[in-house]
Amino acid sequence: MEPDDLKFNAKLQRRRRSFNRQHRTTLDDIEMEEEFLEAEDDIENDELAAHQRDKRQAPYIIYPEILVIVDYDGYRLHGGDNLQVKRYFISFWNGVDLRYRLLKGPRIRISIAGIIISRIIDNTLH
């Protein structure tokens, strides 16, 4: 048994003993028994509240990382220029980041982890 459970059982046994000592068959006895049961419920509720844990909160700012993969057609569409491909996809993901900035909480900031450009037609990942 846990130390908290031992304390709870000790309290419960003391209350039962005191109740049994004073036990009479009168209206006072019935009222006392009701008080005893209410007190017992309070102890159980206190014990339950003590064993509950707090939930973790989400971080205030979330940074999802994006790995951009450009196929050969995307490379060719921008004239085969790596700089043009990078500029296009950085501006595209910046637009996505601006859209997510409208959210209130938690805040989301898009982060580009890297850009892979396929410059040869045979180097397709799919």
Which pLDDT tens digits describe the chain residue by residue (126 residues)?
A: 555 666 667 776 777 666 665 555 566 666 666 776 676 666 555 555 555 666 777 778 899 999 999 999 999 999 999 999 999 999 999 999 999 999 888 889 999 999 999 998 886 655
Rg over alpha carbons for the chain, rounded to the nearest Å, is 34
The two three-digit tokens of residue 99, written as one number: 């859209």
Determine the pLDDT at residue 111.
94
Determine the pLDDT at residue 77.
94
> Model's pTM, two decimal places?
0.52
Of 52, 34, 44, the residue nearest 12 (C-alpha): 44
Determine the pLDDT at residue 53.
64
Determine the pLDDT at residue 55.
73
CA pair distance 111, 103, nearest whole angstrom: 16
